[in-house]
Amino acid sequence: MKVMSNDPDMLEEYDFSKGVRGKYANRYAEGTNVVVIDPDLSQYFPDNASVNEALRALIPILKRQSLKLAEEQN
């Protein structure tokens, strides 16, 4: 087997001989919505549902702030 990297996480038994280079490249290039949160936040947001709920709760506040800023600029 050909060694591809000096990465200690790449074990010799990993077999990429049937791998397809760039198989998902186009899909990834279209955009991704993966967001990594800091470990200290994971105790409060353990899954995507809790993150989505929190962000949706912030939307009305953001809208009010945008309106206030727009009024102040006029």
* Report field, pTM of the whole predicted structure over 0.85: no
Q: Which pair of structure tokens corresponds to residue 20?
A: 């397809």
pLDDT band for 15, please (50, 70, 90 cuts).
confident
User: What is the rounded CA–CA span in Å between residue 67 and residue 73?
Assistant: 10
User: What is the rounded CA–CA span in Å between residue 13 and residue 1?
Assistant: 9
For 31-67, the pLDDT digits (tens) are 878 888 999 999 999 998 999 999 999 999 999 999 8
User: What is the rounded CA–CA span in Å between residue 11 and residue 3?
Assistant: 9
